Amino acid sequence: MESNGGTDPTRPFNGTRPAKVVEKDFYDTIDDVVKHSGTKFPTWNRTKPKVILVDSCAVGDHKGTKFSIYLEGGPVIDSDKAIATMKAHWESLDYTIGLYFPDMGANTTGRQLNATSPVGAEVQFTPAEDGSSISVESECTLDPAATERHAPTDTAP
């Protein structure tokens, strides 16, 4: 995720938000997508997440940090309805709706919807009869505290 110095409306903060704020928004986004997905994501536990990736990113010439996750979940029988429901939900939260793939090739029941949250998190929702997935990538933060690894606790961000 790279900012272009403030001209990209999907990257409104240019790395200026503190790591704790970015991380909380990241967790909130995951919770929200899971809640509105129409299925279960048994590996997601906000207080004890299994895998949160901490990756490098850039804001202009400045090195930053972003958080990302990929979750696999249960089946969704009507993926068209799930996509329509998620799209309406994201639009109500002022997400910028991105690419929509109505045909996932060999996965004939799968659909994929991409969006960017108002704070710049990139979200991908893929409901399908044989299992669904969610991918979330936070905005980039220049706060050095973002690289600190924290042990999971009962009080996640």
Q: Is residue 68 part of a domain?
A: yes
Q: How many domains does the chain have?
A: 1
Q: Is residue 108 part of a domain?
A: yes
Rounded Cα distance between 55 and 147, Å, is 9
Whether the pTM exceeds 0.75: the reply is yes
Contact criterion met (CB below 8 Å) for 149 and 128:
no
Backbone dihedral angles phi then psi of residue 87, each to the nearest 5 degrees? -60, -45
Q: What is the pLDDT of residue 51?
A: 86
Q: What is the pLDDT of residue 3?
A: 37
Q: Is residue 96 part of a domain?
A: yes
Q: Is residue 10 part of a domain?
A: no
Q: What is the pLDDT of residue 2?
A: 38
Q: Is residue 156 part of a domain?
A: no
Q: Is residue 123 part of a domain?
A: yes
How would you write the pLDDT of the chain (157 residues) with one tens digit per residue? 333 344 455 566 778 899 999 999 999 999 999 999 999 999 999 998 888 999 999 888 999 999 999 999 999 999 999 999 999 999 999 999 998 888 766 655 678 999 999 989 999 999 998 899 999 999 999 999 998 765 444 455 6
Read off the CATH number of the domain in which 137 is found: 3.30.2030.30
Q: What is the pLDDT of residue 4?
A: 37
Residue with tokens 């909380």: 24
**What residues have CB less than 8 Å from 10, skipping those under 6 apart?**
96, 116, 120
66: containing domain: 37-143
Q: Is residue 93 part of a domain?
A: yes
Q: Is residue 25 part of a domain?
A: no
